[in-house]
Amino acid sequence: GLGRVAKALGMSIHVYDPFLPQAVVDSFGATRHETPADVFRACTHITIHAFLSPQTKNMVNQDLIGLMPGVAPDGTKCGNHIVNCGRGGIIDEAAAAAALQSGKLTSLALDVFDKEPCGATPLLEAERFQGSPHVGASTIEAQNRVGAEIAGAVLAALDGAPPRGNLVNKDVQPKFAAPKPKM
C-alpha cells in the first residue's frame, strides 16, 4: 500500500487514526499522533483516508494547513502537499484554494469534492491543483476486475469457503465451514 511506497522513498510514516490497532501502526514503523494537528505539524506530504462525519467535515482547513512545515526533518525544502483519498467535504475547498494561491500549500490532489458532481469551486482555478471527477476506479479494466472478484467471492461463500483477500472485522464474521466436496 501507500505506506510501503512512502518507506521505499525514504519517507517516515505518521498516523492519526483513533481506530487503528497499535500493532498495525507498529508493523509499518509509523509514528502515531494524538491529533490531526500533530500530524500536520510534523509532515510535508499528507494523504487523507477518512470517512465524512460531523467531526471530519472541513477538518483540513486553514488552521491545519497553516501548521505544515514545508521543510523535511533533514532540511529539504519540499513544500506542503495533500492528497485526499477519503471523502469529499473533508477538505475545506476555499481554504485549500487560498493556501495554494498564497504558496502555503504547494500542491493538492482530489478525486472527491464537497459537492458532486463538482460545480463551482475555487480549486479549479488553482494552478497546482489536480482533480478528477471521482472516477478513480471507473476504468473498464477496474470494473471488469471488480465484477470477477465479486462473482468469485460469492461462489466461494456459497461453497462454504471464507472470503479471500482483505477481510475486515474478522472477529465478527461468521465461522466458515470447510469447502464442500465438488460433485
CA distances from residue 147 to 65, 135, 150, 167 in whole angstroms, order as listed: 39, 16, 5, 17
Please give the grid coordinates belonging to residue 8. 521505499
Q: Indicate if 87 belongs to the active site.
A: yes
Cβ neighbors of 62 (< 8 A, separation 6 or more) are 92, 95, 98, 99
| Active-site choice (14, 45, 87, 93) | 87
Q: Indicate if 125 belongs to the active site.
A: no
Are 86 and 112 in contact, with CB atoms under 8 Å apart? yes
Are 96 and 74 in contact, with CB atoms under 8 Å apart? no
DSSP state, 93?
Answer: H
Please give the grid coordinates belonging to residue 84. 485526499
Backbone φ, ψ for residue 13 (5° rounding): -105, 130
| Active-site choice (4, 116, 125, 145) | 116
| Active-site choice (33, 49, 128, 134) | 134
Task: Please tell me whether residue 1 adopts helix, strand or coil conformation.
Answer: coil
CA distances from residue 156 to 76, 148, 150, 151, 181 in whole angstroms, order as listed: 50, 12, 10, 9, 12
Task: Please give the positions annotated as active site.
Answer: 87, 116, 134
